[in-house]
């Protein structure tokens, strides 16, 4: 019996040795729960007893996060926009959403530093840039549609967020779409807002995992969500400390971090309004030909749904990106 116990102990030790959970750590738009989780070492504390290490990956771009998850480089996308998930679903790339992060509606903006551009309609024939295949891309299309314009009316240039910010002030582009930190910095340098997401779309950041991770480690998924809830409680009870973490992480002042906090609706679950807006997003992206067909992002048969016992009315704790 003692020999058997030793063998089993060795097996467990070897089985756990070297295991790690890889999590993306995008600093923008304003992922305060994730910032707190990292600075307080909450995930490390939760999984240390099992010998499981946590490794963060600095990947901000939505499509790049999805590619990393699909290829197995990362297990959990700590904060990713739903526009990228919908577009990925249209390309047969499936991720499961296990929780929400925030609605950064007031921090997304179409901006210009050109004094001759007074309105969106002045962008006809002008060069406009933004991150492709993500929320800012959708926002650009929404803004154009509201002004009876299409992407063909402008010279659209795909460009990652930091490059967009620089290009606005070097004159390489006439306007660009920015979010959170870049929006604040651009305003301080004199750039003007032509349009925001408010009244046009409802940006949604969520936590997503690749399907194999969800199937093989449902308990780990449950524990990750538990830790995110702990982070939210910390934010509620220690807001000042949490915002100091954010200011340090993002390289901004405490006042700017507080502005971002006040203009970003933090959450852990998707609301009924979020679900309604997701369906609208799918219809719009299909109309804009960014997806080849309408996709169903809500799955009632998600493998790890069983780990969530207590559902809140009009909210969900889990949905999956899948095809109908």
What is the C-alpha separation between 159 and 205, in angstroms, rounded?
20
* Whole-number pLDDT of residue 14: 38
- pLDDT score, position 272: 85
Query: What mean pLDDT is predicted for residues 235-241?
Result: 98
Distance CA 224, CA 208 (A): 11
Q: What is the pLDDT of residues 101-116, one digit of tens each?
A: 999 999 999 999 999 9
User: pLDDT tier at 182 (50, 70, 90 boundaries)?
Assistant: very high
Query: Residue 303's pLDDT is what?
Result: 37
Q: Concatenate the DSSP letters of all residues of 224-271 into one string.
A: HHHHHHHHHHHHHH-HHHHHHHHHHHHT--HHHHHHHHHTSEE-SSEE
Ramachandran bin of 143, using left for φ above 0, alpha for ψ from -120 to 50, beta for the remaining angles: alpha
- Alpha-carbon distance of 190 to 221, in angstroms, equals 44
- pLDDT score recorded for residue 154: 98
Which two three-digit tokens encode residue 99? 């929780």
Cα 114 vs. chain centroid, distance in angstroms?
A: 30
Res 10: pLDDT: 42
Instruction: Name the pTM for this structure.
Output: 0.87
Higher pLDDT, 70 or 2: 70
Other Cβ atoms within 10 Å of 292 Cβ, number: 10
| Cα separation, 62 vs 79, whole angstroms | 9
Q: Which residue segments constitute the domains of the chain, with CATH numbers given? A: 19-103+204-320 (3.40.190.10), 106-196 (3.40.190.10)
What is the predicted pLDDT for the residue at 307? 35
What is the residue-averaged pLDDT of the chain? 87
- Paired sense of beta strands 192-196 and 315-316, if any: unpaired
Share of the chain above pLDDT 90, in %: 76
Provide the pLDDT for residue 175: 98
Q: How confident is the model at residue 315 (pLDDT cuts 50, 70, 90)?
A: very low
Range from 61-65, 211-215, 239-243, 315-319 carrying the lowest mean pLDDT: 315-319
Checking if the pLDDT of 316 tops 70, the result is no
């Amino acid at each position: 019996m003692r020999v058997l116990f030793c063998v089993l102990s060795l097996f467990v030790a070897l089985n756990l040795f070297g295991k790690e959970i890889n999590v993306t750590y995008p600093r923008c738009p304003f992922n305060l729960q994730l910032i707190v989780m990292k600075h307080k070492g909450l995930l490390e504390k939760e999984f240390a007893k099992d010998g499981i290490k946590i490794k963060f990956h600095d990947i901000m771009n939505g499509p790049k996060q999805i590619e990393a998850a699909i290829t197995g480089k990362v297990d959990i996308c700590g904060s990713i926009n739903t526009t990228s998930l919908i577009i990925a679903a249209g390309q047969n790339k499936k991720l499961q959403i296990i929780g929400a992060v925030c609605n950064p509606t007031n921090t997304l903006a179409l901006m210009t530093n050109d004094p001759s551009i007074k309105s969106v309609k002045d962008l006809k024939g002008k060069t406009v840039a933004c991150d492709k295949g993500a929320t800012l891309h959708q926002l650009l299309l929404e803004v154009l549609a509201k002004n009876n314009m299409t992407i063909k009316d402008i010279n659209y240039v795909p460009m990652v967020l930091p490059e967009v910010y620089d290009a606005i002030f070097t004159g390489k582009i006439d306007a660009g779409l920015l979010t959170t930190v870049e929006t604040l910095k651009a305003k301080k340098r004199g750039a003007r807002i032509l349009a925001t997401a408010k009244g046009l779309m409802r940006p949604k950041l969520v936590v997503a995992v690749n399907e194999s991770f969800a199937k093989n480690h449902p308990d780990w998924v449950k524990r990750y969500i538990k830790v995110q809830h702990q982070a939210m409680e910390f934010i509620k009870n220690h807001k000042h400390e949490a915002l100091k973490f954010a200011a340090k992480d993002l390289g901004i002042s405490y006042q700017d971090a507080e502005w971002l906090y006040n203009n970003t609706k933090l959450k852990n679950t998707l609301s009924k309004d979020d679900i309604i807006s997701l369906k609208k997003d799918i219809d719009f992206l299909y109309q804009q030909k960014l997806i080849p067909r309408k996709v169903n992002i809500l799955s009632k048969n998600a493998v790890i749904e069983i780990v969530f016992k207590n559902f809140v009315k009009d909210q969900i704790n889990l949905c999956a990106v899948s095809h109908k």
